[in-house]
Structure 1
Amino acid sequence: MGQANPFNVFLKGGLDYFNTDIQGRTAAGGNIKLSNMGMAQASNLTANANRNDVISGGNIQFTNGNVGKGSVLYAGTKNISGVSYSTPGATARRGTEIDFNAAFNQLAQISAGYAGQNETGLRQRSGSALTLTACGNGINYFNVTTDDLWSLSSLSYNRNGFSNVKFIVNVTNGSTRGANAKLENFGINLNGVAQKDILFNMKDVTSLTLGSIGWQGSILATKANVVFNGGAFNGTLVANSLYGCGQFNNYPVPEPATICALGLGAIAVIRRRRSAK
């Protein structure tokens, strides 16, 4: 997912988070406010004082916590107290590393490319239970609405015997819930599908609420302001902003040469189709 690929949380705007962990790397184009936080402590991150694992494109306020594997970078001002660094030489320094506007322009294009794909997987609904079944190797696309997500009691994945399967779920605005999505209070059955092979693409969602859930997979929601109060998120979140105290565990998405490149390829196909009209 472009520059978001190595991050656990990647935001265009601000981050306000407290009393939990973001185990992977974090980058936000706006201000970051953290309290009682463990940052970048994942076992699948190498210790590197020269790598910036908490990146703010604005100001940073960080009270009480730890940065496990790398350093902190901020573009504006800092107010940091009671924060330790586990890697020798790690620190907080002023500077810039990411052009967030350019990064999110690319991510919006990738999201639009995915959203333009036809549904190729099998989507089955039984009451409030949803099962997504692969119909072949490679990327399988599925279409759901925000209305569907509000009413779920369970979500299950089925590889259907295929060994190399990726699930991309395009979420469109429902007639009742509109651009407001909710992922709360339902169980997820992976059935052998890896978190890195699941992506929910919420192209036009502007509000996303998560709670009381062990979320599996990544979410691409470039316009969404996210509230996450309770539970765990096993994947990468790309959004506009984030508030809350839910835990993030580090399950990076594949390198751009796989999923990201396929998304850019989809954009090229759409553009060729439009040019031919």
Structure 2
Amino acid sequence: MKLKATAAFAAALISSPLSYAGTIELSQAFNYNAFIFNDFSGERSDVEGKLAVGGNLTVEDFDVGLLLPQDLSESSLYVGGDLSFSRGKVNGGQTTVSGMVEASYVEFAGAVNSESFVSIEGGSVSSGGINSKGDVSLVDAGIRQGDIDAEGSVFIKSSGLDDGSVTYGNELIVENGNAGTSASVKDTTNIVDVENLDFTTMKNEVIAQSKDFAARDVNGITTLSCGSQTCSESASSPIDTITFSGSDDVNIFSIDSAWFSAADKDIVYDFSTTSINIINVFGKEVELFNTGFFNTAFSQENSYFRENGQYRDNDNNENQRHDGLYTNNILFNFVDATDVTLHAVGVKGSVLAPYAELSFYNGHIDGNLIASSLVTPEVELKNDKDETYLAPTGQVNNYRFGAINVSEPASIVLLFGAGCFMLARRKKTSRDSVNLKRETF
């Protein structure tokens, strides 16, 4: 079966004497590598860029902001509920939490800001200190640079401040610790200001954007192949390839989730690097796994692709990966899905699933991840030695929808946040070695 639409896509025009380009103004949610409306639970993984979670964040053996430059003037982690964090690191910025902070053996690069109780056991705060509208407990942990500013009480045990002072509202208790280089000050009128994201407004914006993408006219061609023939309901062979082809500056595609969820298939991109490509997936349930991603742009070995056109990805020998040129222009919009499962797959493109509980393990996404909630199910896998282990949460790699060079004049200009960037390559940790059918890390 071949899905084809001939209706032309018309972008809204800006009234400007200098440009006739159309605009898609991306929601602020796309400023974050991962933006989850409600709860997020994960383990043994990482989000390479900024992470924003509107509900509770519960993680262990987890890192945030691995590829972010150090900018301690803003946060790289935002949590609208409570933060429960065991073993890991928050790099590149501050941590801002509306609820309680319970952290054990976590390294915070920047300040820890909370509208409630803060408890840090083990680990450290490198710069910026702790700002809490409640109590603060610091046990076997240190603040290398910065103050403790709390409206409630402060308890310090076997730890303390290398530099700075303590300001508290109720009482200060120090057991074999250090309360700073200057005298502690009790101020019962002390007020701590903690400003978090407006998660509700951002959620509403991105839901409206998903609906807008879904309502746009389809002008891309989606070809489904079953063996040597195009697919139909009576095809004898299972689907093995989905090809998305487009020749416009903005290509809109449409596919049913039943076709999209087929196992052991390839997804082939056939469009330019300077185009924007939105793939609308319709259906309540989606499962993407054992899927290889290819591009028709190259057929020979180069820095982006292997010889057969497959995306290069975290090669164990060369420790390199693609720089986003052929990934940042792709968005999978799961329009009405409430249940999305991603596993044993390296998704090449961003994922927008505003209504979905995302079950995400043993894989990764090269792009933005926006969903209602994220869970890591208890799934047992086996390694090369036939040893059983629990699947880790999927990684979110620091690529970004819209971070491309669009030639002028063009029919679209993407506007958002901090603008475009390219990724520096880094040597991946053992968490990247996941059990994928076609991808080799």
TM-score, length basis structure 1:
0.85
Distance 1:49 1:191, change over 3 A: farther
Q: Percent identity?
A: 25
1:52 aligns with 2:75: yes
1:208·1:225 contact (CA, 8 Å) conserved in 2? yes
Counterpart position of 2:91: 68
Structure 1 residue 90: Cα displacement: 5.2
Q: Map 1:18-97 onto structure 2 (within 5 A).
A: 18-42=43-67, 45-86=68-109, 88-89=126-127, 93=131, 95-97=194-196
2:276·2:402 contact (CA, 8 Å) conserved in 1? no
1:85·1:91 contact (CA, 8 Å) conserved in 2? no
Q: Which has the higher contact order (CA 8 A, sep 6+)?
A: 1
Task: Measure the CA separation in 1 of the matches of 2:49 and 2:273.
Answer: 27
1:147 aligns with 2:295: no
Distance 1:47 1:258, change over 3 A: same
Runs of 5+ unmatched residues, structure 2:
1-25, 111-125, 133-193, 227-238, 298-324, 377-392, 404-411, 417-441
Distance 1:17 1:163, change over 3 A: closer
Structure 1 residue 254: Cα displacement: 2.4
Matched residue pairs, number? 250
Structure 1 residue 135: Cα displacement: 2.3
Task: Measure the CA separation in 1 of the matches of 2:273 and 2:363.
Answer: 30
Counterpart position of 2:295: 190
3-state SS of paired residue (1:5) = helix
Distance 1:190 1:6, change over 3 A: farther
Q: Map 1:126-137 onto structure 2 (within 5 A).
A: 126-127=225-226, 128=239, 129-136=241-248
Counterpart position of 2:370: 238
Q: Which amino acid aligns with 2:282?
A: T
Task: Measure the CA separation in 1 of the matches of 2:92 and 2:255.
Answer: 38
Distance 1:148 1:92, change over 3 A: farther
Task: Measure the CA separation in 2 of the matches of 1:182 and 1:92.
Answer: 42
3-state SS of paired residue (1:104) = helix
1:2 aligns with 2:42: no
Distance 1:32 1:163, change over 3 A: closer
Task: Measure the CA separation in 1 of the matches of 2:333 and 2:253.
Answer: 10
Counterpart position of 1:121: 220
2:286·2:339 contact (CA, 8 Å) conserved in 1? yes
Residue-by-residue CA offset, 1:177-206 (whole Å, 9 max, x unaligned): xx0111111101134562110001112111
Runs of 5+ unmatched residues, structure 1:
174-178, 262-277
Task: Measure the CA separation in 2 of the matches of 1:254 and 1:97.
Answer: 25
Task: Measure the CA separation in 1 of the matches of 2:80 and 2:131.
Answer: 12
3-state SS of paired residue (1:120) = coil
Say which structure is richer in strand. Answer: 1
2:94·2:109 contact (CA, 8 Å) conserved in 1? no
Distance 1:91 1:259, change over 3 A: farther
TM-score, length basis structure 2:
0.54
Give runs of ≥4 in structure 1 deviating > 6 Å: none
Q: Which amino acid aligns with 2:202?
A: A
Q: Which amino acid aligns with 2:337?
A: V
Distance 1:195 1:238, change over 3 A: same
Task: Measure the CA separation in 2 of the matches of 1:92 and 1:233.
Answer: 33
Say which structure is richer in helix. Answer: 1
Residue-by-residue CA offset, 1:66-103 (whole Å, 9 max, x unaligned): 11211211001110110013464156655342111111
Structure 1 residue 164: Cα displacement: 2.1
Counterpart position of 1:103: 202
Residue-by-residue CA offset, 1:221-274 (whole Å, 9 max, x unaligned): 11110011101111001110012211111002227x93468xxxxxxxxxxxxx
Distance 1:85 1:227, change over 3 A: same
Task: Measure the CA separation in 2 of the matches of 1:102 and 1:133.
Answer: 35
Counterpart position of 2:355: 223
Q: Which amino acid aligns with 2:221?
A: L
Counterpart position of 1:264: none
1:170 aligns with 2:280: yes
Distance 1:16 1:130, change over 3 A: same
Task: Measure the CA separation in 1 of the matches of 2:342 and 2:371.
Answer: 13
Alignment root-mean-square deviation, CA: 1.9
Q: Which amino acid aligns with 1:100?
A: F
Which of 235, 245, 251 does residue 399 from structure 2 map onto?
251
Q: Which amino acid aligns with 1:148?
A: W
Q: Which amino acid aligns with 2:333?
A: N
Residue-by-residue CA offset, 1:93-134 (whole Å, 9 max, x unaligned): 553421111111111111111111121011111112100011
Distance 1:90 1:35, change over 3 A: farther
Q: Which amino acid aligns with 2:363?
A: G
